[in-house]
A and B are shown apart, each in its own frame.
Chain A
């Protein structure tokens, strides 16, 4: 494959920032591609994990945050567990996602979903699927997906009409407040 590396907005590229955030030594990667061959979504994306690693080495900047792997990655941790150099590749993915949340406004579906999920936790102390699903559907405009399954899920008790009331909401709210949730989870 041909790699196109452009310098992004950050002068030094993302390498140092990712290393700082994850404590991972990225230079240990020798491009064996074991992470990519085991990656759950490796053949569904344009840039598998080893390519992300290489592009970081080569000084890629914020344009890397648009890589399709970032929001296709299922956090399965196969990459981290198989890397012969012990590099926590999945942690690099997490760090790239957090950077993406901080720096990019793109409305990627998993991003909207995560926000709906965490908002539900913030409000009720536990996840409340119905509320979360509604927020997610409004956030993405993807109203039709899976609605055919709702009646069956409700009937089987796999969805609840009301949020659970058992959680210690005060503690959870305090955690969110103390972290101020930066830009996320508003």
Chain B
């Protein structure tokens, strides 16, 4: 199957590992991801905090590329997924906005390109059974806290993804890979997202709460699907150690990295070396016998 794939800016910097593992998993499962030529930034949080028309116009420029390709648009980054889908919603539900966006972009757009998260493609197009059958190595009972964060699930009317308060897609995938998806209360709490640089104080406070809860639940690692969540939770463990003396040593690993490992992809093709807290315990659990 062919789908237009929107990597997002972080694919070229902080989330090279998310990008690499998405590509590797897609390849293993026969999904043909095609990068639209000339894709540009979705605007992220900065755009919608600054100008609502800009926030819809930047994703629209990209959605028009997918429309030309006559394909659905898939994103692995939860933030891009959110911005692309919100833009569709805006131009569809607000005719004034549609006009303003058309004026800004220089072309009218009807909001018709189907925007999907890579997880949805895994579930709907590939299917859990096929994935199970393709698995070469089990997670061997690895205890995984599945962390969804905000952007994938909220607002539900727009994202229409899973259950906004207790989503289970990551959990089901982890179970299919032979891991134990933990029941824990911080699945959809906020990590501070786009405040990563401008309000580190807030991010440290929020990530500390999430890490603590995962640790209390007995997690070996936290799995994520958003580059902002990944960086905040991974990078801030150092600051938390320095400021509060708590040393979590908790690997924060993309779901596509876990899946890639199970599908037999080489760790280097999955960007595992890019994680700040090394996933040593994950690999150890996967390689131990029975």
Interface residues of A (CB under 8 A from B): 21, 23, 40-41, 44, 71-72, 74-78, 80-81, 88, 90, 94, 97-98, 101, 109-110, 112-115, 117-118, 121, 125-127, 129, 133, 136, 145-146, 149, 152-153, 156-160, 164, 166-169, 171-172, 174-176, 178-179, 181-182, 184-185
Contact = CB atoms under 8 A, between A and B. Distances in A.
Contacts of B10: 127
A20 to B, nearest CB: 12
B43 A121 contact: yes
Interface in B87-135: 94, 103-106
B190 A76 contact: yes
B47 A118 contact: yes
Given A77-B155, A157-B274, A158-B13, A72 B46 contact: no
Contacts of A40: 189-190, 192, 206
Nearest to A158: B14
A113 B46 contact: yes
A74 B199 CA distance: 9
Contacts of A126: 9, 12, 40-41
A164 B12 contact: yes
B200 interface: yes
Interface stretch (B48-56, B139-147, B173-181): B48-56
B84 to A, nearest CB: 15
24 contacts: A21-B52, A72-B202, A74-B192, A75-B193, A78-B190, A90-B155, A94-B48, A94-B49, A98-B50, A109-B198, A113-B46, A117-B46, A118-B50, A121-B40, A136-B197, A145-B197, A149-B235, A152-B276, A156-B274, A157-B16, A160-B12, A181-B51, A182-B51, A185-B50
Interface of B: 9-10, 12-14, 16, 37-41, 43-54, 57-58, 61, 94, 103-106, 150, 154-156, 164, 188-190, 192-195, 197-200, 202, 205-206, 231, 235, 238, 273-274, 276
A172 B239 CA distance: 36
Nearest to B39: A167
B51 A74 contact: no
A175 B190 contact: no
A contact patch SS = helix
A185 to B, nearest CB: 7
Contacts of B150: 74-78
Contact of B194 (A75, A125, A159): A75
A116 B128 CA distance: 42
A98 B53 CA distance: 12
B103 A178 contact: yes
B9 A127 contact: yes
B40 A171 contact: yes
6 cross-chain pairs, A with B, having the tightest CB-CB distances, nearest first: A168-B38, A76-B190, A40-B190, A113-B198, A77-B154, A114-B46
Given A114-B198, A125-B40, 14 more contacts: A40-B189, A74-B206, A75-B49, A75-B193, A77-B155, A121-B41, A121-B47, A127-B10, A145-B200, A158-B231, A164-B12, A175-B54, A178-B106, A182-B51
B70 to A, nearest CB: 19
B14 A110 contact: no
Task: Determine which residue in A41, A115, A117, A153 has the highest number of CB atoms from chain B within 10 A of its CB, and name it.
Answer: A117
A164 to B, nearest CB: 5
B274 A158 contact: yes
Nearest to A152: B276
A94 B154 contact: no
A129 B14 contact: yes
A113 B197 contact: yes
B91 to A, nearest CB: 14
Contacts of B274: 156-158
B17 to A, nearest CB: 9
Nearest to B238: A149
A72 B155 CA distance: 19
B154 A76 contact: yes
Contacts of B51: 98, 179, 181-182, 184
B44 A127 contact: yes
Contacts of A101: 50
A176 to B, nearest CB: 8
Task: Determine which residue in B49, B155, B156 has the highest number of CB atoms from chain A within 10 A of its CB, and name it.
Answer: B49
